[in-house]
Amino acid sequence: MLIDPYQEPDDGPTWFEGDFPEVEADLVASTHNHFDHNAVGMAVGSPALLTAPGEYETPGIRITSVPEVHAGKWVMPNSLAVVESGGVKFVHCGDNRFDVDPTVASAVGEVDVVIVAVDDSLHLMSRAEVWRLATTFSPRVIIPMHFLLPGVVTPSSTLLGIEDWLGSLPEGTQIRRIPEDEVTASSEDMPPRSEVPQAPAIWVFGAARAAGL
């Protein structure tokens, strides 16, 4: 499964260090129709596409695209990609607004992992808004995305890193920096539910490119 593959904008500054790598996928999902999220044609093979609200299920995994709204000045649809697999529930927020409709939040419910857009340029949301969006779903783990990642994203994108954001988190927040190319997300790897939402852990990934096919 591949969520929000990217491509360069039609005009303006370069955003990425190189083309999106060749990735073979059975399913490609896009949360919204912006260039850095909608390159669904980049996947190798003949994957199913989920580019609008709906659901896709195959043995062992289910993804539900839940309609919501983009953050900031971009008034447009954005979907929350809710993924359930192996007893772990994820929500990939795309570029969602921080004040999720309460009905939508209730429908999504508690999740184990929230993947949320954040960077120190405050491109989409303030730090407080990022925290509000992420903790809406009482996650056990928060994974930041959509920031300046050397080797992938260029400074001309105007995005910045996340070190200031990490420094602003509540005292005692567990921050795990993950250098590996692959990570197994299981219930045993996450903080107990009793410690959440007061102290969800933060998992910070580095750059990891798919091997050429």
DSSP code string of 39-96:
-GGGSBS--EEE-SSEEEEETTEEEEEEEEEB-TT--SEEEEEEEEETTEEEEE-TTB
Q: What's this model's pTM, rounded to 2 decimal places?
A: 0.93
63 vs 84: CA distance, rounded Å = 6
- Enumerate the domain spans of the chain: 53-205
The length of the chain, given as a count of residues: 213
Nearest to 175 by CA among 167, 183, 184: 167
Look-up: residue for tokens 């309609």? 67
Q: Which residues are within 8 A (CB) of 169 and not within 5 positions of it... i.e. 6 or more apart?
A: 131, 175, 202
Strands 54-58 and 48-50: unpaired
Q: Are strands 88-92 and 113-117 parallel, antiparallel or unpaired?
A: parallel
Please give the chain's pLDDT, 213 residues, in tens: 899 999 999 888 999 998 888 888 899 999 999 999 999 988 888 899 999 999 999 888 999 999 999 998 888 999 999 999 999 999 999 999 999 999 999 999 999 999 999 999 999 999 999 999 999 999 999 999 999 998 899 999 999 999 999 999 988 899 999 987 788 888 887 877 766 656 799 999 988 766 544
Domain 53-205 has CATH 1.20.1050.10: no
